[in-house]
Structure 1
């Protein structure tokens, strides 16, 4: 009878406390030592699974008993005092009593199994565990005796993108089990204004002073249910070309992508000014308490592109960009009840670009001209510039404009006629307007300018944001040409004033004087005749 009860126990408890499900049950325990084994299917080759025996059943005639060295008295006391298990073990005093309770399918739940395994883990270590052997995607536990075992994933996953399995309860035999070890994921994206589609990806481009938008998407593994505490933290490393953000906003979604509006959460940004980074931590168990359907979190923030940003000077194959890197640290050991986050996702990196407008002022014979005065405009507004030196200027930030030092709104060309404006965006129309020509030269007409770029593509068709393949510039309504330079030409010669200008007033004035003079002459002649 006791053997039949234990067979029922085996059938009832071949389950995963850590999302592991056994595939078979046995009506009797085999006594041959070479058949006492448990096989775990896991493709990760560097894990450590250790089996600890709870109940012993060495032959078909033996009664269910505690495994050697299990502190049964304190074990049962711990079961009786466990809050999850409640009063289920109040009348238990033997291994057979405990086996009967946990094999009662009517009154025993998955939560009870998880709690039982957690208590058992405290009392089995004195047994001396049996470590699994790995071969071709399978871990084999060659256990010594037939019986009921607690399998613990004792892998050191510190600073790895891997997680430990929660406790596994299983019966010895030719049993295959598959642990489902879940890990969160993180993807960082930057908003791109290319072609006006405002798409999200790995590459963006902006004008210095712009607020650049970022999105970080993180997922929540279903195995969180086996943890007492579960947190994860976004670590975001910005390049020195960005100001740290002041706030962020989070949105929550279920596994089908439906936005969940019932979750209340205000992300807190903890800044590190020393290395220009910040972190945002999430208590996932608290969030799931608000809504258990949360499967994905989207975190949005903006960071201003500042005067320290790297600027692409070359027209092709430049790598002067502003990278930003994010990763996630997370709880990855369900038996660890602390707030340690030993798991770490791979880095997710995006790249922001800003560009240079290379200008030259010359006459129609190709000679450089000094003394020309220009303004750069966007949407008919003059853009303030930070003067680096006589030839080089950069789009000024709001802070620099407020300080006023080295801020100009007009470029004056020097002897070589060369001027560079750094920090402009692509796909944006700028106007380069000459407000004063060199002496003896006519002013050039305003020039409309727009840059366009193309980025390196990976073999799988995705964009490699580290390098752009080409940069083109279009002037006025002309099609783009390779490069980022524009030449503004002045020509000598008299330029007649236009109708309605000061010149017509001169002509009218001179004409009026002639008419008046003719009238005076006519009157004088008539008087002379009378005399």
Structure 2
């Protein structure tokens, strides 16, 4: 008898340890279970492991007698997980137990794993979806219950003996934060040149055991995912690939995304609360990049449980500039040819391709670049797909006819916005302190005297005249001599 009392006392103590609130015991055959802090949209299930066949709440510790339910009897058979914690007599009543506050979590985990194995044919006593007000199971018959949630981790175990059992949702939802590399740091946004590699880092915070954890990532059309770049780490060490499944474009789930990573439930369950999973990967800014305005988005959302989801987003910007080529009077000049460089010595050329009337963009790998860009007399030239907060150099390789070629490359900086011209507002003429754009001026050449100039011609004319006079005089003299 003493042994039975000890067993019952241990079970009662175990229930009170796991419950966040001490149950209010009352006479009756039914009670209720309330889950405080239930997550809206997640489902909660209760499993009745033992029937309560009798109880006495007037003594301490309380006296409760249990009998295993038919569906759970095999769980406690020799060789099965429950037998490591509870021994049943011939009438399926508890005759011995090793359960205490230290072994209770193991028992609960084993029980829920057993229940979710379809071969054991264990059905939840009742399931409900939580709303903003939480979740409560009413009309619950007396028994010892396991409470589980679709978040994936056990909530608690508790007794219902005509009372209201109140337990707390101990699980906290995971979080996700996405950053993009900006210089030496990771930030919420950056800028890049078409063809540049854009590096991302997504951090998943696991705040407790959850199920169905899937990381989704969707890139705008201006970003091309580098499929071999994905790395998954915890504390700087690679996560074994059998702990997750990487679904690349064309193999992802029904969610429209660029790629997704589906983590195995048993891997997540083994992580301590507060563990950070770091996922790094990259993309290339391509020719479809959005220039300035909204930028190029990369969205991440983390799904978990039944319907939980948290999101994070980064933006990569790319910029353009308008080249305005004029003479010293501000009139547009045609025929000036330029190349664009990333360095002052003009050794790192940025290759460009035509992308419409008077528009050029940075060339991508495999594209045939133009030899140079050439100005016209009717509009500015637009060059797009460049990284912001960066200095560039325009080198004139051929000046308009009649104009001097620039001695040095023209240096300019793009900040965090496009550098656009407003020639349409100034009748296609550059007006100082009014016009905008990258303005480059050419000066007209000067004509110098040459040996075929007017000075020599005068001497030729005068000399010719004098020779003619001399001939006339000579002829006249001869005639006069002949008459004599």
TM-score, reference length from structure 1: 0.66
Alpha-carbon distance change, 96 to 120 in structure 1, aligned in 2, over 3 angstroms: farther
* Offset of residue 359 of structure 1: 0.9
8 Å contact kept, 2:42–2:308? no
**2:339 corresponds to which residue?**
375
User: CA separation in 2, counterparts of 1:132 and 1:231?
Assistant: 17
1:188-199 correspondence to structure 2 within 5 Å: 188-193=178-183, 198-199=184-185
Instruction: Report the counterpart of residue 232 of structure 1 in structure 2.
Output: 213
Quick one: structure 1 residues 60 and 452, their matched pair in 2 at CA, closer, same or farther if it must change by over 3 Å?
Answer: same
**Cα distance in structure 2, aligned partners of 1:288 and 1:50:** 18
Aligned-residue CA RMSD (Å): 4.0
Is the CA contact 2:216–2:257 (under 8 Å) kept in the aligned structure 1?
no
1:55 equivalent to 2:22? Answer no
1:246 matched to 2:227: yes
1:212 is matched with 198
Q: Which residue of 2 aligns with 1:183?
A: 173
Of 243, 248, 265, which aligns to 1:271? 248
For residues 217-256 of structure 1, give each alpha carbon's deviation from its aligned partner in whole angstroms, at most 9, with x where no partner exists.
Answer: 11223325xxxxx563332211121222032353644xxx
Query: Within 1, Cα distance between the matches of 2:27 and 2:316?
Result: 66
- Equivalent-residue separation in structure 1 for 2:156 and 2:298 (angstroms): 40
Mapping for residues 83-232 of structure 1, pairs under 5 Å: 83-86=80-83, 92-97=89-94, 100-101=96-97, 104-105=99-100, 108-116=103-111, 119=114, 125=123, 129=126, 137=133, 139-143=135-139, 145-153=141-149, 163=151, 166=154, 168-172=156-160, 173-193=163-183, 198-224=184-210, 232=213
**Cα distance in 2 for residues equivalent to 1:264 and 1:132:** 34
Q: Give the corresponding residue for 1:323.
A: 297
Other-structure match for 1:487: 439
- Residues 30 and 146 in structure 1, CA contact (< 8 A), matched pair in contact too: no
SS in 1 for 2:82: coil
Q: 1:86 to 1:9 in 2, by over 3 A?
A: closer
Larger radius of gyration: 2
State the TM-score, normalizing by the size of structure 2.
0.72
Which digits, 9 at most, give the CA deviation of each residue in 1:45-83, with x for residues without a partner? 55655555432245539972548xx42xx5323321564
- For 1:89 and 1:371, the matched residues in 2 are separated by 93
**In the aligned structure 2, how far is the partner of 1:45 from the partner of 1:231?**
16
Structure 2 distance, partners of 1:324, 1:483, is 36
Deviation at 1:493, TM superposition (A): 3.3
Pick from 66, 73, 76 the counterpart of residue 73 of structure 2: 76
Aligned residues: 415
- Structure 2 residue aligned with 1:31, among 15, 27, 45? 27
Alignment partner, residue 506 of structure 1: none
**Change in CA separation of 1:175 and 1:414 when aligned onto 2, cut-off 3 Å:** same
Match of 1:394 in 2: 361
Gaps of 5+ in 1: 158-162, 225-229, 254-258, 313-317, 333-341, 454-469, 474-480, 497-531
Are the equivalent residues in 2 in contact too, given 1:203–1:350 (CA < 8 A)?
yes
Match of 1:426 in 2: 388
SS of the equivalent of 2:225 reads: coil
* Residue from 440, 453, 466 that aligns with 2:402: 440
Distance change in 2, residues 1:444/1:88 (3 Å):
closer
2-structure distance, mates of 1:90, 1:8: 14
